[in-house]
Copies of this chain bind each other. A is one copy, B any other.
Amino acid sequence: MTVIPPLEAPRAPQAARPHDALARLLADDLRAVEAVIAARMRSEAAPRIPQLAGHLIGAGGKRLRPMLVLASARMLGYGGPHHVHLAAVVEFIHSATLLHDDVVDESRQRRGRPTANLLWDNTSSVLVGDFLFARAFQLMVEAGSLRVLDVLATAAATIAEGEVLQLVAARDLSATEETYLRVARGKTAALFAAATEAGAVIAGAEAGAARALRDYGDALGVAFQIADDLLDLEGGAEIGKDRGDDLREGKMTLPVIRALACASPEERAFWARVVGRGEVGTGDVERAVAIMRGHGAIESARREAEGWAGRARAALEGLPAHPIRDVLRDLAAYVVARRA
């Protein structure tokens, strides 16, 4: 009996999540990053710092931003060791902004745990955020590249600008898609783009490759943020925070802006009450979602996110073939499709 070979050799089982595939490809580096994070959040003078920071950072999180640094550096052939420090830097900056965000938003849950501002207090969260931010700068100075410092310091300023803009635009029913994009670029895409660019720069990339990886990070970040906003409307318990929080905080997300653009007078009154004045009663989150669906605003926001994911994939095209490049391509689809 002849065995007919399959047309293709059986493929290794595809990782369910490209994010896990990336974590496997970068496993040694990620362990080194965790060690740097643990060592550098210590404070002999103030033990509350590692307690509070560890509560947030130790709760896991996807470590997406540090992986972007490592992935960029490794796919361009970098042999270390500074990519590990820079990966810890972006996780510290990210953690500092989360601590401050949770104070600003008065959040109660993050990564499925009570927030630090709830377990300790707002003031501790503000000050420990400041510490992590300062530590991030110390770590990047150790990496010794002024160009990388410039990339990351600029990102930090852009993040703060995005957060302030979001605060000012909150509850403003006249907010535009342009404002939304600026906020998303500030609060999310700026650090994604800085992560991929910093990895490329530390690897000594030529300008074109550094630019391509920066563009990838930027588009991935915008896609990620739009998807994040949709998760707040549609996600279940697995998102690890309260559903409808953004609505309660009056955030002008893409589906809200688009639903407002074609709202009936009655719907407009609903948005003015719920988002404009922050009077959110029982069933209002569900009604908001139903109104958005009625105008196709959730679907169109998802298509917008997919468009940004496509731009992220396109940015990778000019880069040399590499297993990490393939996973980054899959990651772009994943950040839009993810459920948590």
Q: Is there a chain B Cβ closer than 8 Å to A250's Cβ?
A: no
CB neighbours of A131 from chain B (8 A):
157, 160-161, 164
Q: Is there a chain B Cβ closer than 8 Å to A100's Cβ?
A: yes
* Complex CA distance for A133 and B126, rounded to whole angstroms: 13
Shortest CB distance A174–B (Å) = 16
Question: B130, B146, B156, B157: which contacts A160 (Cβ < 8 A)?
Answer: B130
Name A's interface SS: helix
Are the CB atoms of A154 and B127 closer together than 8 Å?
Answer: no
Number of copies: 2
Are the CB atoms of A130 and B45 closer together than 8 Å?
Answer: no
Q: Is there a chain B Cβ closer than 8 Å to A244's Cβ?
A: no
User: A157 with B128: in contact, given A146-B144, A168-B46 (CB under 8 Å)?
Assistant: no
Q: Is there a chain B Cβ closer than 8 Å to A141's Cβ?
A: yes
Query: What per-residue 1/0 map shows which CB atoms of A107-147 lie under 8 Å from chain B?
Result: 00000000000000011101111110111011001001010
The interface size bin for chain A is 35 or more
- Which chain B residue shows the least CB distance to A168? B48
Q: Name the interface residues of A272-308: CB closer than 8 Å to any CB of B.
A: none
Are the CB atoms of A164 and B43 closer together than 8 Å?
Answer: yes
Are the CB atoms of B124 and A153 closer together than 8 Å?
Answer: no
* Complex CA distance for A154 and B48, rounded to whole angstroms: 19
CB neighbours of A123 from chain B (8 A):
103-104, 167
Are the CB atoms of B104 and A163 closer together than 8 Å?
Answer: no
Q: Is there a chain B Cβ closer than 8 Å to A162's Cβ?
A: yes
Shortest CB distance A114–B (Å) = 19
* Complex CA distance for A162 and B127, rounded to whole angstroms: 10
Are the CB atoms of A127 and B49 closer together than 8 Å?
Answer: no
Interface residues of A (CB under 8 A from B): 43, 45-46, 48-49, 96-97, 100, 103-104, 122-124, 126-131, 133-135, 137-138, 141, 144, 146, 149-150, 153-154, 156-157, 159-165, 167-168, 182, 186
Q: List 16 A-B contacts (CB under 8 A).
A: A45-B162, A46-B165, A48-B164, A103-B122, A103-B123, A103-B126, A104-B126, A129-B130, A130-B156, A133-B160, A134-B156, A134-B157, A135-B157, A138-B153, A141-B146, A141-B150
